[in-house]
């Protein structure tokens, strides 16, 4: 499943806010305060490399 975050509103019937919440909490647990340090203009290279290979279900 692909999520286009460029648009302002998702279909609530197909967008799992619970999965997003679990993914966000996991990211906070894994990255902690490092999430506050945004590395460079294009963001984290590791995250940019990883995101195209994952679906939201893979992150929870």
The model's pLDDT over 10-59, given as tens digits with 9 standing for 90+, comes to: 777 888 888 889 988 998 898 888 777 766 677 778 888 888 887 666 65
The verdict on residue 39 lying in a domain is: yes
The model's pLDDT over 11-22, given as tens digits with 9 standing for 90+, comes to: 778 888 888 899
pLDDT for the residue numbered 31: 83
Residue whose structure tokens are 């999430």:
35
Spatial distance between the Cα atoms of 41 and 22, rounded to a whole number of angstroms: 27
The verdict on residue 34 lying in a domain is: yes
Q: What is the pTM of this model?
A: 0.47
Length of the chain: 60
Q: Which residue range(s) make up the domain with 38?
A: 17-59
Quote the number of domains for the chain. 1
Residue whose structure tokens are 């279900």:
57
Residue whose structure tokens are 């679990």:
22
The verdict on residue 36 lying in a domain is: yes
The verdict on residue 8 lying in a domain is: no
**DSSP conformation letters of 8-51:** S---TTT--HHHHHHHHHHHHHHHGGGGGS--STT--HHHHHHG
């Amino acid at each position: 499943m692909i999520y286009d975050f460029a648009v302002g509103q998702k279909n609530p019937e197909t967008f799992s806010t619970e999965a997003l919440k679990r993914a966000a909490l996991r990211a906070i647990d894994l990255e902690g305060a490092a999430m506050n340090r945004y590395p460079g203009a294009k963001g984290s290279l590791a995250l940019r490399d990883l995101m195209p290979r994952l679906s939201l279900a893979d992150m929870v």
